[in-house]
Structures are given as structure tokens and as C-alpha cells.
């Protein structure tokens, strides 16, 4: 008599990281007595009021996040949404956004954000978990992160095709209002990137790009393919054709080792034969020696020499 409801809810829970709600259990055919009996016999585990998990289900970010979404009647947002999208700088914390006004305080370990404005087209699912769309996620992250961290996350999303400048701008148009945190940061980052054909594809590249823009220097071409008589040479991170300047982000992660160093040397020689100057910029150059790095780049632009950062 009870097998069909149990089998139905087990199949549903398997698609939801072992989690289900009281309403889902009732819809599967479980009576109030049956629900209480399964909880008392430890066949089900109570995670939150009205939210359960199958016994033996391992605790994980995905299980706890979807359970928090069910409990709050909301969606994964902020850092949790960023983690689901695989964005850099987004650790797997349990965080939700809801329009439902709860009469109780948020439960321990769950960050709850309340909003009165969450259009349906700004929510979706990721791995079966309700989540804000990439565009709304980036807008929220701009309110939670430093501007540099937000820029790195947005460039990652643009490079991977998770979103576009047009979609980010439209989300800002629909949702932004005076005083809303993060909107100014997102608007500034959009304006810096609206004319780019390609986007920075690593944290170091993002920081170099931000440094160039803050210094008031001309916007370079990103990932522009360069050829010589032998064929393809390179797609440098940044390229100024008029001044024949190539800027390469140079991190140990991608440029250490015999094969990488040999490839870099060959590429450098071919670029030099084309009359190009290659400037390598590492992490120290954009942190401890940022002013010196800006001056080195600025030296290629005599007309820009008067533009100095404060």
C-alpha cells in the first residue's frame, strides 16, 4: 500500500540531491501519519521545517543549497549562484534570495537576502537547483565583492559565453534603481567592455585591463591574431597596432616549464622580427610595481603622457 508513494518520492529525491519537501511527499501520496512515521523511524531526515532528505544522503553544498531554496521559497544567489556557475572567487556558501517574507529568523548557516524585485525571467535552474540567471548573479556579486573581484568574475562569464554585455545592460535597465548596491559597479564595468570584441580570460588579464583603463590609456585589442610569412604567430592578451606594442600577462601557472618556455621564446622571436615590442606583465607588476608598469606602457603613447593617475 505504501510502496508506490515511497518509490515516487525516492525517484523525485534522486533528481534533487536526495532532498524533497512536505508538499512533494503529500503529492506523492504520503499522509501526515506516514510522514511522521518515516521521520521517527529515521528513514527520512528533517533538514528544515517542511524539508527532508532521504536517510543516507551525504551532506554536500548542492544538497544543502537546494534544501535552503525549498525552505526559503527562494533561489540560490550571490556567492552560491556564482559557485554553481563556476565563477572564480565564489566559494560554496549556502546563500538564497527570496521575495517571501518569513516570520522567523534565518536558520544557522544560511545567508538569506530578501528582495521585492525578482522577475521570473531573472531565475533559472542549474544542475536542477533554482538559481538567479547569470546576469542577475553578476549584478548581485557587484554588491558583495570588491570591484576587482567582480570584474574577474564578469570577464570569466563573458569569455565562457555565460552572458553578454547586452544581456548585462538589459538586466541593469530592468532592475537598477537609485541606491541599489552594486549597480554603479556593474554599470562601470559594462561601459569599459561594451566596445570589446574579446574579453580577458584570466584574473591576471582582467587586472591588467582594469589597470590600463584606470590609467586613461587607449583601449587595446584583446586576443588579436597576428601572422607572419610562416603563418599564425600568436593571439596576445593585449595589442596596440599603431605603436606596435604587445602586452602579455605572464603568470607562472602558464609560463613555467621547458615546453612553455621554449614556446614563449619562439613566439617572442617571431613577434620581434615583425617589429613588435613585447611587454611581459606579471603579478608583481600589477600589485607592487603598478605605477612603474603604467609608466612603461604610457611611454609608447607620447600624446598620452600628460594623462597621469592621481
- What are the structural domains, with CATH classification, of the chain? 3-58 (1.10.10), 62-193 (no CATH), 203-304 (3.40.960.10)
- State the average pLDDT over residues 62-73: 95
Position 298 pLDDT exceeds 60: yes
Around Cβ 151, how many Cβ atoms within 10 Å? 24
Q: How many helices (H) and strands (E) does the chain have?
A: 14, 14
The rounded distance, in Å, linking the Cα atoms of 60 and 66 is: 10
Over the chain, what is the mean pLDDT?
90
Cell of 118: 525578482
Instruction: Report the Cα 240 to chain-centroid distance in Å.
Output: 29
Q: Angle 134-144/165-175 helices, nearest 10 degrees?
A: 70
Cell of 13: 529525491
Cell of 73: 521559497
- Residue 176 has a pLDDT of 76
Q: What is the pTM of this model?
A: 0.88
Name which residue leads in pLDDT, 43 or 262: 43
Give the ranges where 252-289 is alpha helix by DSSP (H). 252-255, 258-273, 283-286
Residue 82: partners with Cβ closer than 8 Å, 6 or more residues away: 89, 90, 137, 141, 153
- Residue 182 has a pLDDT of 85
Using alpha carbons, select from 197, 198, 90 the residue that is nearest to residue 152: 90
Amino acid at each position: 500500500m505504501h510502496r508506490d508513494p515511497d518509490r515516487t518520492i525516492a525517484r523525485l529525491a534522486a533528481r534533487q540531491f536526495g532532498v524533497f519537501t512536505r508538499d512533494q511527499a503529500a503529492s506523492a501520496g504520503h499522509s501526515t501519519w506516514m510522514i511522521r512515521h518515516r521521520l521517527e523511524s529515521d528513514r527520512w531526515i528533517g533538514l528544515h521545517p517542511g524539508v527532508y532528505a532521504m536517510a543516507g544522503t551525504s551532506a554536500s553544498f548542492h544538497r544543502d543549497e537546494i534544501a535552503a531554496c525549498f525552505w526559503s521559497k527562494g533561489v540560490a544567489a550571490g556567492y552560491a549562484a556564482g559557485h554553481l556557475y563556476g565563477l572564480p572567487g565564489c566559494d560554496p556558501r549556502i546563500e538564497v534570495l527570496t521575495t517571501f517574507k518569513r516570520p522567523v529568523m534565518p536558520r544557522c548557516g544560511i545567508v538569506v537576502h530578501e528582495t521585492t524585485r525578482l522577475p521570473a525571467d531573472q531565475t533559472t535552474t542549474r544542475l536542477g537547483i533554482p538559481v538567479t540567471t547569470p546576469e542577475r548573479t553578476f549584478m548581485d556579486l557587484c554588491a558583495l565583492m570588491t570591484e576587482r573581484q567582480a570584474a574577474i568574475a564578469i570577464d570569466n562569464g563573458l569569455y565562457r559565453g555565460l552572458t553578454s554585455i547586452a544581456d548585462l545592460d538589459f538586466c541593469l535597465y530592468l532592475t537598477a534603481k537609485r541606491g541599489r548596491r552594486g549597480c554603479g559597479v556593474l554599470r562601470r564595468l559594462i561601459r569599459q567592455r561594451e566596445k570589446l570584441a574579446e574579453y580577458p580570460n584570466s584574473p591576471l588579464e582582467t587586472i591588467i585591463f582594469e589597470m590600463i583603463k584606470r590609467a586613461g590609456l587607449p583601449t587595446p585589442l584583446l586576443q588579436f591574431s597576428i601572422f607572419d610569412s610562416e603563418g599564425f604567430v600568436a593571439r596576445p592578451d593585449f595589442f596596440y597596432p599603431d605603436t606596435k606594442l604587445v602586452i602579455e600577462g605572464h603568470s607562472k601557472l602558464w609560463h613555467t616549464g621547458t615546453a612553455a618556455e621554449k614556446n614563449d621564446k619562439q613566439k617572442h622571436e617571431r613577434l620581434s622580427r615583425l617589429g613588435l615590442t613585447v611587454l611581459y606583465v606579471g603579478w608583481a607588476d600589477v600589485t607592487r610595481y603598478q605605477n612603474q608598469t603604467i609608466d612603461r606602457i604610457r611611454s609608447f603613447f607620447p600624446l598620452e603622457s600628460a594623462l597621469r593617475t592621481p
